[in-house]
Amino acid sequence: MQHILIANRAAIAVRAAQTCRGLGLRTTALRARTDTQAAVHAAAADHEVAVDGWGLPDTYDSSARVLDAVDRSGVDTVYPGYGSLAENADFVAGLEERGVTFVGPSSAALRLAGSKAAAAEAARRLGVPVLPHASGRGRDEILAHVREMGLPVVLKPEFGYGGQAVRIAHTEADVERAVAGSTEGSRDGAAGSPDGAAGTSWYVEKYLPVNQVVGVTLAVDHEGTVLPLGERESLLVADGLKLLEASPVAGVDTEVLAAMRADAALVAREFGLTNVMTVEFIVGPDRYYFLEVNGRLPLAYQMSESQLGTDRTDLTDLVELQLRIARGESVSPAAHPVDRTRHCLEARLFVHPQELADFPDVGTLDRFDLPDVDGVAYARSVDPARPVTYELILAQALATDTSRAAAARLVRKAVEGSRVTGLRCYVEEITRRLDAEC
């Protein structure tokens, strides 16, 4: 491992370049020619390779274009960060054929984890609790499954990514509208086909009206050693976007959390997954259930970092950990203890979907100022002087303190004090939710 293609953009690409430089690794940035913000992350790397195309599926998330960039740049390793390419089994298979190292799981493991139906069945066979579920195509087949398990249900594209196109159905009419509607976020999305969304494979799952979504993050090396990386819960979700997350998890018994950690480790090992990943569970009134596996670095990776290490001056770099696992090094749980007395909250200023009608053209930021708040760290890479393209998230604000309320007050001060005009990004919604935590 000497020359890394950073197959992503924005803040995670900048972070990856910085970590690689610290390890003495040469880096090449991926830059879409149509990305007006690309200069920010390209400048962080040693070299850059450009790709043509318009929009994420035709540039940064295109297996064909990124594999061509791999061939042209002569790299020996690809670092994907987070994003759909990080879980694209076909892309990873292309790297395996070329003898190029992928910083993440194998294509076979990603293929299993990437199918919600196959993953749920595999988890069930392992004895991990799962919700009643089914998969199928088209209105009639989906309605038959719904009638068998009973309403309400959740409908998701079976191979969907990032929470998009997820629908809660309380009536059969809701089911029909979902199946006939958008498939945004699905890798096999049939939007625009003669059958519309009816051509998509849908995953149907029983809906729990009272629930708590918990993500268990962990790392697994090639020997199967599991390194716990903490847990977090979603405090605010809107339009399929996780706007606010917190750790440690509140309101769940320690015995239940321990069982979820054990099941997450079991799923990761038995699925054959390696590197950093998150296993998601949903906690109902009586028990928890497996939801899915995200076989990639989580967007909330800095939350894990803030709780790892023997003290706050010796935090674990998860990007470095990923690179070390990818080159065959072993992990040591004793070297990376999780300190759950460190409470952290992260708010994310996602661009509102109403601003994305012309994506990847997003718009213009008239003003983009984030206040300096002691105890708050930002992840951002937007250049407000340039037109905003390809950008789905403007900034992340993370605070760590001795209690959730204290961390919430810091994040609230940061979000409320931000001055972002020109693009809507959920500032009011996040601030209102934080009021309940302060």
pLDDT digits (tens, 9 = 90+) for 96-132: 999 999 999 999 999 999 999 999 999 999 999 999 9
Same domain assignment for residues 91 and 154: no
Q: Are residues 163 and 181 in the same domain?
A: yes
Binned at pLDDT 50, 70 and 90, residue 314 comes out as: confident
Tens-digit pLDDT profile for residues 269-287 = 999 999 999 999 999 888 9
Q: Are residues 250 and 376 in the same domain?
A: yes
User: Which among 165, 127, 342 has a CA at the least distance from the CA of 246?
Assistant: 342
**Same domain flag for 69 and 216:** no
Question: 252-269 in b/e burial notation, b at 16+ Cβ within 10 A?
Answer: beeeebebbbebbbbbbb
Same domain as 237, residue 173 = no
Which domain CATH number covers 14? 3.40.50.20
Both tokens of 311, joined, read 């003290």
Which letter does DSSP use for residue 221 in this model? Answer: -
Cβ(331)–Cβ(219) below 8 Å: yes
Same domain, 15 and 47: yes
Q: 111 lies in a domain? A: no
The DSSP code for 391 is -
Is the predicted pLDDT of residue 185 greater than 60, yes or no?
no
What phi, psi does 48 have (nearest 5°)? -145, 155
| pLDDT mean across residues, the chain | 93
Task: Identify whether the C-beta of residue 268 lies closer than 8 Å to the C-beta of residue 325.
Answer: no
Q: Helix or strand or coil: residue 154?
A: strand
Q: Number of folded domains in the chain?
A: 3
Amino acid at 156: K
Q: What is the mean pLDDT of residues 44-61?
A: 98
Compute the average pLDDT of residues 393-405.
Answer: 97
Q: How many CB atoms lie within 10 A of CB 127?
A: 9
Q: Render pLDDT for 137-182 as a digit per residue (tens, 0 to 9).
A: 989 999 999 999 999 999 999 988 767 778 999 999 999 998 887 4
- CB burial class (10 A; 0-12, 13-18, 19+) of residue 286? exposed
Q: Answer yes or no: is 269 within a domain.
A: yes
Question: What is the distance between the alpha carbons of residues 81 and 75, in angstroms, rounded to a whole number?
Answer: 16
End-to-end C-alpha distance for the chain, whole angstroms: 46
* 122 inside domain: no
pLDDT in tens, 315-344: 799 999 999 999 999 999 988 999 999 999
Torsion sign over Cα 83, 323, 215, 151: positive
Q: Say whether 258 sits in a helix, a strand or coil.
A: helix
Q: How many residues does the chain have?
A: 438
pTM of the model: 0.94
In this predicted structure, what is the pLDDT of residue 105?
Answer: 98
Whether residue 152 is found in the same domain as residue 13: no
Asked if 391 and 414 touch (Cβ cutoff 8 Å), the reply is no
Please list the residues that pair with 155 across neighbouring strands.
167, 204
In a domain, 43, yes or no: yes
* CA distances from residue 376 to 223, 251, 293 in whole angstroms, order as listed: 37, 25, 29
Element (DSSP H or E) covering residue 149: helix 139-149
* pLDDT reported for residue 160: 82
Cβ–Cβ under 8 Å, residues 80 and 277: no
Last residue of a domain, one of 103, 119, 145: 103
Asked whether 164 and 181 are in contact (CB, 8 A), the reply is no
The answer to whether residue 196 is domain-embedded is: yes
Q: Mean of the pLDDT values across residues 378-406?
A: 96
Domain assignment present for residue 237? The answer is: yes
Q: Are residues 275 and 295 in the same domain?
A: yes
* Distance between CA atoms of residues 56 and 242, nearest Å: 20
Are 65 and 192 in a shared domain? Answer: no
**Considering the domain boundaries, does residue 115 fall inside one?**
no
User: Which residues of 72-113 form beta strands (DSSP E)?
Assistant: 77-79, 101-102
- For 415, the domain range is 212-435
What pLDDT, on a 0 to 100 scale, did the predictor assign at position 309? 80
**CATH code of residue 405:** 3.30.470.20
Residues 142 and 286 in one domain: no
Q: Is 213 exposed, middle or buried (0-12, 13-18, 19+ CB in 10 A)?
A: middle
333-372 per-position pLDDT tens digit: 988 999 999 999 999 999 999 999 999 999 999 999 999 9
197 and 250 co-located in one domain: no
36 plus 151 within the same structural domain: no
> What is the Cα–Cα distance from 406 to 399, expressed in whole angstroms?
9
What is the radius of gyration, based on Cα positions, of the chain? 21
Residue 421 pairs with which residues in a beta bridge? 367
Residue 194 lies in a domain: yes
**Average pLDDT rounded to a whole number, residues 417-436:** 96
